[in-house]
Amino acid sequence: MNLNQALSALNELEATLRAYQHALGCLNYDGETVAPRNSAPARGETMGFLSGIIHEKVTAPETGEMLDTLLANKESLSLKDRRRAEVLKEERDDLTLVPADEYMAYQQLMAESMQVWHDAKLASDYPAFAPYLEKIVAYNRRFAERKNAARPAYDVLLDGYEKGLSHETLDPFFDLLRRELAPVILEVAKRPRPDTAFLDQAYPIHLQRQFTDRVMQIMGISRDDCAVGETEHPFTEGFNKHDVRITTHYHEDSVLSSLYSVVHEGGHALYELGVADELQGTVLAGGSCMSLHESQSRFYENLIGRSRPFCEVLLPELKALFPSQMAGVDAEMLYRAANLSMPSLIRTEADELTYSIHVMIRYELEKAMIEGGLNTADIPGEWNRMYKEYLGVDVPDDRRGCLQDSHWSFGAIGYFPSYALGSAYGVQMLKNMEKDVDVWGAVRAGDLKPVTEWLGEKIHRHGQLLTPAQLVESGCGGPFDPNCYVRYLKEKYGELYRL
């Protein structure tokens, strides 16, 4: 196979993967948003079938030959073509580590496991889920060993979510958060709680839907390229830069829940929408690793969305749609309600200050499970002990404890740190952005375009053309510095709670 043949084989493989991944993404989005409940088994079968074909195409010997040819000629390739080959090679290497029958069996295990987790969570029945978690941990440990037996298994898994990430970055990061934030959290918990009574009213869902439209407009998200669905656990799915889907959930008694889901998922969407045209259709289209994706979503959600200027912009919108509920509320009250900090049980509902502690606890547990020091049977006890130690809360049941998140049930071990890391990246990006852009002027004007353009230039447009490390450097304007995140949180909550 010569270089030209290899390049056209690459084009062809990308076209194939694009079609199958588009179909899979659509089936998944549909399944999570509008599909009727009993549709799951047939959808699982179809998705298994299509995933099997992706596995077959990526692991095919011809694909190996094509990638070898390309990577043996790295120097004569454009950056784009080189990265296309590298990114596919990584994917292929992961898939070829696992024999096809073992891969299919694991897919089947995960499908069952997600269902079991779902029911176990409802029933707060950890023992029902534990045997599945046991198998999933064993699979991940085996996978990590096959991939690189020389490194700690958990590091190998972390690297799968962000190339280059290991305990060497994360141990000191989470140590710092524990050391610096835990005392602040306990101090804040003693202060008077802001007045949030205006939130404890009915906000009709059909009006919340209109509010979503306005929020997306303020964020500058084109509805011709991005739709909004409704689901239980909000997520974003991006097929290409002209077809991104965010999701939210509406609770009549919790107007801020949908608002911040929309702003968070909107951040993911802006990333996908901002990838350069010339990367579309290739494996480089779409956002980079999970932590970078979370850096964008949590940037919009917290740094912008929970800022005073943004609350000032939202206030008249809320008053127009909910005049009686919002009577007597001013921007400062909204700001304080949106930033209510309180040690709590549920990660996805946690405020900015306590959020990373939830993640830290999962990090410690995952590391211990994979490195072999912790049995799955001991997870609930350890979970509850750490929640008490770091957040001062008693976990009443596993539903609100170690069964709350779905990640482990679909095999995602090593994923959680992305949330905290992304939050920290985002703060450093903001500080860097403030040197170039009048961020708060833009927010006050209700037009986030200058903010998004800056992120587009530094992060979004590059897709996977740059490595995660290069993108972090590009956004942060220097090496990652977790102190920046800690300083930001201490300042923000110090002012809010007069510490």
Cα–Cα separations (whole angstroms), residue 420 to 232, 261, 299, 482? 22, 17, 12, 10
**Residue 187 annotated in active site:** no
Q: What is residue 342's DSSP assignment?
A: -
Is position 274 an interface residue for its own copies (rule: CB under 8 A)?
no
- Output 216 or 443, the one with its CB closest to its own copies: 216
Which of 14, 16, 96, 477 binds its own copies (CB under 8 A)? It is: 16
Beta carbon of residue 25, minimum distance to its own copies (angstroms, whole number): 10
Which of 113, 218, 229, 311 binds its own copies (CB under 8 A)? It is: 229
| In the block, residue with structure tokens 């195409």 | 57
Structural tokens at position 474: 């590009």
Is position 42 an interface residue for its own copies (rule: CB under 8 A)?
yes
Beta carbon of residue 245, minimum distance to its own copies (angstroms, whole number): 8
Q: Long-range contacts made by residues 229-234, C-beta under 8 angstroms, separation at least 24?
A: 229/29, 229/32, 229/33, 229/34, 230/33, 231/32, 231/33, 232/32, 233/348, 233/406, 234/261, 234/264, 234/265
- Give the interface segment with its own copies, choosing from 42-50, 102-110, 173-181, 324-332 (CB under 8 A): 42-50
Using CB under 8 A as the binding rule, the residues of this chain from 182 to 211 that contact its own copies are: 205-206
> Which of 468, 372, 419 has its CA nearest to residue 144?
372
Which of 5, 8, 12, 45 binds its own copies (CB under 8 A)? It is: 45
Is position 169 an interface residue for its own copies (rule: CB under 8 A)?
no
- Give the interface segment with its own copies, choosing from 23-31, 158-166, 321-329, 366-374 (CB under 8 A): 23-31
Q: What is residue 252's DSSP assignment?
A: T
Is position 18 an interface residue for its own copies (rule: CB under 8 A)?
yes
Which of 162, 265, 301, 364 is catalytic? The answer is: 265
Which of 41, 127, 316, 381 binds its own copies (CB under 8 A)? It is: 41
Three-class DSSP category at 254: coil
Is position 246 an interface residue for its own copies (rule: CB under 8 A)?
no
Cα–Cα separations (whole angstroms), residue 139 to 85, 134, 136, 168, 339? 27, 9, 5, 24, 40
- Output 207 or 368, the one with its CB closest to its own copies: 207
Which of 13, 29, 326, 482 binds its own copies (CB under 8 A)? It is: 29
Three-class DSSP category at 238: strand
- Output 16 or 344, the one with its CB closest to its own copies: 16
> Which residues have a Cβ under 8 Å from the Cβ of 34 and sit 6 or more positions away?
229
Three-class DSSP category at 2: coil
- Output 16 or 96, the one with its CB closest to its own copies: 16
Q: How many CA atoms lie within 13 A of 50 on its CB side?
A: 19
Beta carbon of residue 123, minimum distance to its own copies (angstroms, whole number): 20
Judged by CB under 8 A, how many residues of this single chain contact its own copies? 40
Is position 227 an interface residue for its own copies (rule: CB under 8 A)?
yes
Three-class DSSP category at 240: strand
Is position 37 an interface residue for its own copies (rule: CB under 8 A)?
yes
Three-class DSSP category at 428: helix
Is position 11 an interface residue for its own copies (rule: CB under 8 A)?
no
- Output 17 or 365, the one with its CB closest to its own copies: 17
Phi-psi label, residue 358: left if phi above 0, alpha if psi -120 to 50, beta otherwise: alpha
Three-class DSSP category at 316: helix
Beta carbon of residue 304, minimum distance to its own copies (angstroms, whole number): 23
- Output 199 or 226, the one with its CB closest to its own copies: 226
Phi-psi label, residue 414: left if phi above 0, alpha if psi -120 to 50, beta otherwise: left
- Output 35 or 342, the one with its CB closest to its own copies: 35
Is the CB of residue 249 less than 8 Å from the CB of residue 230? Answer: yes
* Catalytic site positions: 265
Residues contributing to the site for its own copies (CB under 8 A): 15-16, 18-19, 22-24, 26-27, 29-30, 33-39, 41-43, 45-46, 49-50, 205-206, 222-227, 229, 239-240, 242-245
